[in-house]
Amino acid sequence: MQEKFIVTPKGYEALTELLQHLEVDERARIGAIIGDAVDDSKDLPENYAFRDAKLAQGLLEVRIAELKQLLKNIEIVEPSVAALPESVAFGTVVRVQHEEKGEVKEYTIVGTSEVSFYKGAISTASPVGKALLGHKVGDRVEVITPGGIHHYVILYIQPLR
């Protein structure tokens, strides 16, 4: 049985939009590059633009196939709609303070296919996400990462909007 990947409705929408973009826009863009490279050269084996475009086309098709497989195994889960969630769970936004460094960070707890380092979206399976699950405001949480042990205090939890 295939593993199910949980995503929020927004995450599902983003994945389907990405698939549409890759299938339509990127295929057309790479096809045009291949067409131009063929027109520019009679010796295709020595045409680096053609070879690069064919490689990009192959990588694109792999990414499209991966996304299609992922979308077949997705379970869309509505985040908690409670006004103020009591504990960290899938679909919550949590603000934590690193005890040793004093840094304050905000994370959105999502499924593995929605992770975005730049947006602060971490997976329920990541070391930080896994450690935070089930904890409440004021809790001190120990997180074991490949870089060492870190301690965080949960400052607030809110539902994903």
Q: For the CA atoms of the chain, what is the radius of gyration?
A: 21
CATH number of the domain bearing residue 127:
3.10.50.30
CATH number of the domain bearing residue 29:
1.10.287.180
| 84, part of any domain | no
Let me know whether 11 and 70 are in one domain: yes
| Residue 138 pLDDT | 95
| Residue 11 pLDDT | 85
Let me know whether 127 and 154 are in one domain: yes
Q: Flag whether the pTM goes above 0.75.
A: no
Tell me the mean pLDDT per 10 residues along the chain, length 161: 77 92 96 84 74 92 93 82 73 94 94 86 92 95 92 92 72
Q: Mention every residue, 6+ apart, whose C-beta is less than 8 A from residue 159.
A: 79, 80, 81, 82, 83, 84, 85, 91, 92, 93
Domain end among 49, 76, 103: 76
Domain end among 19, 48, 76: 76
Cβ pair 157, 88 in contact under 8 A: yes
Query: What is the extent of the structural domain holding 45?
Result: 5-76
